[in-house]
Each structure stands twice: as structure tokens, then as C-alpha cells.
């Protein structure tokens, strides 16, 4: 039995681990996942995870939870990191073949620091789609110097220094080759980035049945902008949703809105709710996608999954600093996107041809899905394992999602 220590920031990341655990059990790969979470799980989630064979080891450790990005001051972040270091020092063992976090970032990187300090290979699994244009270079020269001085007196700062100095780990495991190639050209020369795909994605070989009669249905997915402390982006997305609602042909297209699970904005109290149905975001987005013909977002990762499931998906990025430019998927304006929707709604061949072109783009952005992605991740972390059976069908996949309270 090989053991992997995993740390997850939120439920979407946990969903990947649960799918990986399902596939490793299905293929008898003899891998045990030990779970550390940086958010609060419900009692039901803890029960189900235990039944699935995942060891939830941090249940009573008192780890500081991550409640949003960019909301803590630098001093508060340092204090929480110090607390986390002491918690790991007290509770963690060095019995693991690898340490895997998803995604990266504050507090989770202390798990990587633990791994590097104890000579355990470490990995960062991409959770949401990232285009190279979104990455901004940061310099750590002042922090590097500070840690270098303080490391003389403190093992905590020594662990942080080793994290910064490491040239081999962590290895980045990405959705697709575009992003892994970018990282391989940008990050430290000896640190590898590997294209592996996404375990929670599923790909249909054929397009989902085309809806024969209107009304067709479009689902807009809101973002986690508020969670990420991007208040201006949140307001721009509200304006975008309002523009779509004002311009769409409601007799032909039903428009619904699904708030992001980490979006704490009350959409039902917003004026938009008067003419857009607000969908319950406690249900699985992967199950909900099945009921729609079109999935729209500013830049949601779920658009990729929608296209893989035979739907038409669109991104309309509004932030010029990270504007996506993928043919057939991205639109500069709401008007051109709605034109594509209406042409697809009235012409089956247009719909199917557009979807085929979108799927060609997705093949570049997502290396693998489901069982194949799990296989690529685990071979990267622990080495050779048996070839997967590869016979999971959509019904089985959706049943897994339905029984997954974190989906």
C-alpha cells in the first residue's frame, strides 16, 4: 500500500481527490490517500469520505481555514502559516511516497515546505483552468533575504527558506500542454511541469442529443470573484449578466444563473432575479449541465466540462488583463455570443459543427479526463502502475457525482 498525503483548499479540489480514490480502487492500485483540508467539512462529508476509504487525518487539528483570497494582511498570513507549521510538526508523519496539494497558495504551501524539509516528493495539482496570460511574475528577493536571516534562529523560517530555494519540487501537474509548456519555460530550470488533465472531468464520445424544439436553455455560471477579493470583477460580471438578460430572445432561450459555490453574494435579492431563474448551487454543476444546451461564463472552468459533455460553451472575459482568446469558445462581446447561440438554436448542423470546433480546442487545453487523468497523475507521483480499465460510462460517472456531497 502506497500512501499519498493530500491537502485541499475547497470542495472542488476535494472532488478531484475523491474521483482519484474511486479510480484507484477500481483498478486495484493499492494507494491510500491521507487528507488535510483547509475548509470545514460537514459531518455527512466526513462520514462519506471515511466510507470511501480516504483517511481524514486533520479533522481535529485546528488548522486555520482559508475563507477567501487576499483578505488577510501579510502579518496575519505569516501568523497563520506559523500556526500551520506547528500543527504539521506535531501531527504529520514522514511515511508518504508523495505530497499533493490542490490548488497551490497560502497555507497549502506549508505542506510543500513540510515535504521538502523531509525529502518527500511534492506536487501541485491544478484545480481550475488557468491561461498563461493570467500569470504574473512576482519577485521574492526581499522575502528571500528576510527568511535567510531568520532561518538561523527558527526552523519555521528555515522551512520557508527551503520552500523558496527548492529547484526540483514542487512539480506542477496541469490541465493541459499549453499551461505546462508555459510553466516549463518560466519557472526554475530543474522544476518540472507535467500535463495530466483533470480527474473530475468526463468526456462523451458523441455530442449530447440536440434539442429539437424551443425553448432552448442557457446556463450562466457566476464566478468566485468575491472570494478572490476581486470586487471590480464581480461588478463587471453583474453588468455582463444584465446585458445578456436584456438582449437574449427569451421566447427561444431560457436563461438561468448558477451562483458559484464560493460566491457569497445573494443573487436572489438582486434585481436580476426578477427575470432570470437562480439555480440552486448546492446541487452538482456537472449534473445541472445535463439540462442545458449552452453554458456561459466570464471564465468558469465548468465551461470546459460542458463542452466535453457535448454542450456549447462560451467564455466572455471582461478583464482585459486576463482576456482569453480561444477560437470558437471566446467572444469579445455579448452580441457576437448571442449570434452564435441563435444560429446554433435554429440550425442543427451549425450547432454540431461549432461544438466539434470547440472540442478541438479543448483537446489542447485538457490533456485527459477521469480515469486517464488519474492514471497520469498517480504515475507522476508514485511511479508505474497497471494500465487502467477505462470503461467508465456516463451513467456511472453521473452516479458518482450524485453521491458526492462535495460535488
Burial level of 387, CB count in 10 A (0-12/13-18/19+)? exposed
For 316, residues 6+ apart whose C-beta sits below 8 A from its C-beta are 240, 296, 297, 298, 330, 331, 332, 333, 334, 337
Place of cell 526552523: 155
Specify the pTM. 0.90
Quote the DSSP letter at residue 276. S
Quote the DSSP letter at residue 142. H
What sign has the CA pseudo-torsion 170, 367, 207, 333? positive
- pLDDT by residue for the chain (407 residues), tens only, comes to 999 999 999 988 999 999 999 999 999 999 999 999 999 999 999 999 999 999 999 999 999 998 877 678 888 999 999 999 999 999 999 999 999 999 988 899 999 999 999 999 999 999 999 888 776 555 455 565 676 667 777 899 899 989 988 989 999 999 999 999 988 887 665 678 999 999 999 988 765 555 667 789 999 998 887 777 778 888 888 889 999 999 999 888 999 999 887 777 777 777 776 778 888 888 788 888 988 999 999 888 999 999 999 999 999 987 776 778 899 999 989 999 999 999 998 898 999 999 999 999 999 999 999 999 999 999 999 999 999 987 777 777 777 776 665 44
Q: What is the pLDDT of residue 407?
A: 47
Query: How far apart are alpha carbons 42 and 227 in whole angstroms?
Result: 20
Burial track 69-101 (b if 16+ CB lie within 10 A, e otherwise): beebeeeeeeebbbebbebbeeebeeebebbbb
Domains of the chain: residue spans and CATH: 2-201+367-402 (3.40.50), 216-365 (3.40.50.2000)
Amino acid at each position: 500500500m502506497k500512501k499519498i498525503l493530500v491537502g485541499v483548499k475547497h470542495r472542488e479540489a476535494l472532488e478531484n481527490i475523491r474521483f482519484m480514490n474511486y479510480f484507484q480502487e477500481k483498478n486495484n492500485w493499492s494507494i491510500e490517500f491521507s487528507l488535510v483540508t483547509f475548509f470545514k467539512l460537514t459531518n455527512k462529508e466526513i462520514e462519506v469520505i471515511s466510507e470511501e476509504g480516504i483517511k481524514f487525518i486533520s479533522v481535529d487539528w485546528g488548522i486555520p481555514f482559508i475563507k477567501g483570497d487576499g483578505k488577510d494582511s501579510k502579518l496575519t498570513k505569516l501568523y497563520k502559516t506559523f500556526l500551520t507549521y506547528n500543527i504539521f510538526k506535531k501531527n504529520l508523519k514522514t511515511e508518504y511516497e508523495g505530497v499533493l496539494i490542490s490548488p497551490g497558495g497560502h497555507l497549502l504551501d506549508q505542506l510543500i515546505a513540510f515535504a521538502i524539509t523531509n525529502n518527500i516528493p511534492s506536487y501541485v495539482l491544478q484545480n481550475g483552468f488557468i491561461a498563461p496570460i493570467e500569470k504574473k511574475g512576482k519577485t521574492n528577493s526581499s522575502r528571500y533575504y528576510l527568511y535567510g536571516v531568520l532561518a538561523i534562529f527558527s526552523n519555521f523560517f528555515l522551512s520557508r527558506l527551503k520552500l523558496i530555494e527548492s529547484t526540483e519540487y514542487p512539480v506542477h501537474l496541469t490541465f493541459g500542454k499549453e499551461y505546462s509548456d508555459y510553466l516549463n519555460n518560466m519557472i526554475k530550470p530543474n522544476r518540472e511541469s507535467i500535463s495530466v488533465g483533470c480527474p473530475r472531468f468526463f468526456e462523451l464520445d458523441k455530442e449530447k442529443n440536440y434539442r429539437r424544439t424551443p425553448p432552448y436553455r442557457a446556463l450562466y455560471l457566476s464566478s468566485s470573484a468575491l472570494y478572490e477579493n476581486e470586487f471590480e470583477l464581480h461588478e463587471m460580471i453583474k453588468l455582463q449578466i444584465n446585458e445578456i438578460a436584456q438582449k437574449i430572445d427569451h421566447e427561444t432561450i431560457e436563461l438561468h444563473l448558477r451562483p458559484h459555490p464560493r460566491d457569497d453574494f445573494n443573487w436572489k435579492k438582486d434585481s436580476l432575479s426578477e427575470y432570470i431563474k437562480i439555480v440552486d448551487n448546492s446541487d452538482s454543476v456537472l449534473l445541472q449541465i445535463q439540462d442545458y444546451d449552452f453554458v456561459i461564463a466570464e471564465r468558469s472552468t465548468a465551461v470546459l466540462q460542458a463542452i466535453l459533455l457535448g454542450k456549447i460553451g462560451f467564455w466572455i472575459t471582461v478583464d482585459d488583463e486576463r482576456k482569453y482568446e480561444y477560437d470558437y469558445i471566446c467572444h469579445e462581446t455579448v452580441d457576437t455570443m448571442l449570434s452564435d447561440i441563435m444560429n446554433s438554436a435554429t440550425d442543427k448542423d451549425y450547432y454540431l459543427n461549432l461544438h466539434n470546433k470547440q472540442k478541438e480546442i479543448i483537446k489542447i487545453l485538457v490533456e485527459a479526463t477521469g480515469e486517464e487523468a488519474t492514471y497520469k497523475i498517480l504515475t507522476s507521483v508514485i511511479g508505474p502502475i497497471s494500465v487502467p480499465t477505462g470503461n467508465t460510462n456516463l451513467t456511472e460517472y453521473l452516479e458518482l457525482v450524485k453521491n458526492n456531497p462535495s460535488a
